[in-house]
Amino acid sequence: MWHLKSPSEETLTWYKDKFLDDIADSLKNAELNDEVLEVIMPKGGKDVIERLLIAPPQELYPLNIELENQIKEKDEAGDSKEKIFNAFDYKGRISGDKEVAYDLAKRIGTRTCVYCNRIYSFTVETEDGKTVARPDFDHWLPKVLHPLLSMSLYNLIPSCPICNRSIKLRNDFEYGKHVHPYQSSEERQFRFQYEPAPEGQWKLKLANCSPEEKETAKLLKTEEVYNPYANSEVKDILEFAYKNTPEYLLDLRDKIMKAYGGSISKEHAYRMVFGTEMNASVYSDRPLSKMKKDVLMQLQEALEIKLIDF
């Protein structure tokens, strides 16, 4: 959750080769004043554009601030932002080009929404190659406000339509203040915790948040969007655990492993029992994995039993 593996060198090369020359040509024809164009293409070169396309976050966002400040000083007509936005042309080059958008989604490869881990975000095509569904690409920093980043690979985050279009919208993350998926560890510091609520109900809250996690959860409404699961997914886990003895839970796991001749791991057995991934490295493979793992960790403390011993 909130984590993406860095793009492969093959993907970075593909991305650069796909867009660098075309964007450079578009900028040359964008009728920018000479001083502004010199900021983006010093001496007519493409090095700055290349960095904007494929530089990692720790380089990308400081570079963007530097360039935006320089352009602001030289933009006498006040129309450079719009011209740059049109020259980079995210809509024409990615969102409006199904072949490219689907290729990019497959290369990034996440199976669930990076922001919420609640919804599958498969890239789906028919056997004959027709496009069916793909995740949205959210601009971590909004493309309208920061057009230089509109085609930056590390600024494009695969997400579900709810997170992208309903929750985040154009809310502006801030580098260093919010968690960036490409600079996030696989396991987060924060934990989902369940608590009893009135009339036999349950609620979920976030605990042990780092400052960055607290701000990210606030912007993405993480606690709010997860609370409906407290009286469905969480309730099912708790009722299953408390209606059976701790010994039964361990016995069930061992019987599943035995049924497979000992050829499956404890992680696999738990996935069959609870429908979740237990290792942070694969949380993104299955919805709600982070939340369910945290609930099970809290449950094993309450039951004083080693439910998760791997």
At 207-229, the pLDDT tens digits run 999 999 999 999 999 999 999 99
**pLDDT at site 309:** 61
297, two tokens:
């960790």
241-292 pLDDT per residue, tens: 888 777 777 777 777 777 777 667 777 777 777 778 888 889 999 999 999 9
Contact 217, 190 (CB under 8 A): yes
How far apart are the C-alpha atoms of 141 and 181, rounded to whole Å? 12
82, two tokens:
């719009």
Query: Which of 74-83, 124-133, 181-190, 253-262 is the least confident region?
Result: 253-262
- Residue 112 above 70 pLDDT? yes
Domain boundaries, the chain: 9-182, 191-303
Q: 35 Cβ partners below 8 Å, 6+ apart?
A: 74
**Could you tell me the pLDDT band of residue 67, with boundaries at 50, 70 and 90?**
very high
How far apart are the C-alpha atoms of 280 and 6, rounded to whole Å? 16
164-185 pLDDT per residue, tens: 999 998 788 999 999 999 999 9
For the chain, what is the mean pLDDT? 92
**Could you tell me the pLDDT band of residue 308, with boundaries at 50, 70 and 90?**
low
254, two tokens:
């061992």
How far apart are the C-alpha atoms of 253 and 248, rounded to whole Å? 9
Q: 167 Cβ partners below 8 Å, 6+ apart?
A: 115, 220, 221, 225
CB count in 10 Å sphere of residue 13: 12
> Which residues on adjacent β-strands are paired with residue 112?
120
Q: 31 Cβ partners below 8 Å, 6+ apart?
A: 83
Decide which of 121 and 252 is more confident.
121
**pLDDT at site 264:** 76
- Residue 310 above 70 pLDDT? no
Contact 243, 299 (CB under 8 A): no
